[in-house]
Amino acid sequence: MRSTDVAVVGAGIIGASIAYYLARAGVSVVLIDRVRAPAGATASATSAGGVRQQGRVGAELPLSIESIRMWDSLADELEMDIRYRRGGMAVCTSDPASLAGLRARVARERSAGVDVRFVEGEELHRLVRGLSSRIVAASYCPTDGHADPMRATRAFSLAAERRGARVLWGCELRGLRRDGARVIGIETSQEPIPCSTVIVAAGAWTPAVAEHCGVPLPMVRPGFIQMMATARYPHILDAVLGWIGHGISLKQVSTGGFVIGGGWPGRGALDRYETRLLPGSMAKSAATTVALFPALAGVPIVRAWVGAESFCRDDFPIISDIPSHPGLIVAAGFSGHGFALAPGLGWRMAEWVTTGRRPEILGGFDIRRFQTGGGDSWQNSIA
């Protein structure tokens, strides 16, 4: 029976990043996941790969700014090409009535340190060629971009192993070991693991994992998101595109195809890792994409898939210790916009563990907000 300082449950982009930065800080860490990497049907597998600062609110804004600064050197840090491209992002609108709100958001984000500006008319269409003539304005951030979610996730877990982390695939959490209230280890399908800290970052499976630990998380629920990818096409788009009110995220990746996301729903069963596409969602997503970027009319869809994500009741993640279980920390409920936060979150979690003090930048994610009548006013979406 091998002991460790920290056990991280869940090897998606969040859990793998936490394990990596802990190992880099010299902390003994075990990363476990009930499936083998890279796993399909998960949030990391279905992420659109957007690396953005725009549209963030509350504590997510400073954490996203911090994280985006780290993405630029992440491939060298992790020793893998994660296909990160900083090509900018344009969050578009076709509705003149939305212009005042868009200008106000740009002003707020600029005051927080984001390199973002309001563009409209001919200036916008020169900046992002190929946009529909319906688009009248956008917020544009040149330091936003995108990366390959599966590569980035795997790069973190491999780099964690190189730094000394132990990674156990096909290892399922069965429960906590406790001395009174305090957590002193975990029981798994492979072996008991004594430890002083357990971090649960299991995505859509977090509520079920937490239930094993005796911690109900009624504010977190699973959801299933559909993605699509087109055939290869000559390179015409550098920026990531969003369309306010239309649920579209569009980017052209390094292999030439376009990846289409934006939160269109699918179906699935968490216990069986099974997912199902909804033809209606696919058709509406494709039609909306062409309405935004007409050059894609007639370009075939060559792949479509669905993955599970954890959604928090207030659309804002929980990154928090659990008061009733000293030594247990939960990082979940990222609601479709956690991918870009992974480097900053992993680094700050390592700081938390090594110093024993939660960094101020993570204070806004505390689970206690649901115990004080809060947690229902966040708005954290750009599409």
- Answer yes or no: are the C-beta atoms of 199 and 18 closer than 8 Å: yes
Query: Max alpha carbon distance in the chain (Å)?
Result: 66
Q: What is the pLDDT of residues 279-310, one digit of tens each?
A: 999 999 999 999 999 999 999 999 999 989 99
Which two three-digit tokens encode residue 55?
């549209």
pLDDT by residue (tens digit) across 2-44?
999 999 999 999 999 999 999 999 999 999 999 876 555 577 7
> In terms of Cα–Cα distance, which of 94, 101, 125 is closest to 239?
125
Q: What is the CATH number of domain 87-144+221-310?
A: 3.30.9.10
Asked if pLDDT for residue 374 goes beyond 80, the answer is no
Enumerate the β-bridge partners of residue 307: 225
Confidence at residue 47, expressed as pLDDT on a 0 to 100 scale: 82
Residue 48 has pLDDT above 90, yes or no: no
The pLDDT, as a whole number, for residue 382 is 43
Where residue 372 falls among pLDDT bands split at 50, 70, 90?
A: low
Q: What is the pLDDT of residues 123-138, one digit of tens each?
A: 999 999 999 999 999 9
Alpha-carbon distance of 304 to 326, in angstroms, equals 42
> What is the reported pTM?
0.94
Cβ contacts of residue 241 below 8 Å, gap of 6+?
89, 90, 92, 128, 131, 248, 249, 250, 251, 292, 293
Q: Which of 88-102, 194-208, 265-279, 292-306 has the lowest mean pLDDT?
A: 265-279
- Cα distance between residue 196 and residue 327, in whole Å: 6
Tens-place pLDDT, residues 224-254 = 999 999 999 999 999 999 999 999 999 999 9
| Token pair belonging to 378 | 């966040």
User: So what's the pLDDT on residue 44?
Assistant: 78
pLDDT score at 380 = 42
Task: Please check whether residue 50 is in contact with residue 89, taking contact to mean a CB–CB distance below 8 angstroms.
Answer: yes
Percent of the chain with pLDDT over 70: 95
Taking domain 6-68+149-220+313-371, whether its CATH number is 3.50.50.60 is answered by yes
| Domain range list for the chain | 6-68+149-220+313-371, 87-144+221-310
Digit-coded pLDDT (tens) for 143-169: 999 999 999 999 999 999 999 999 999
Beta-carbon neighbour count of residue 165 at 10 Å? 24
Q: Give the tokens for residue 28.
A: 């003994």
Do the domains 87-144+221-310 and 6-68+149-220+313-371 match in fold? no
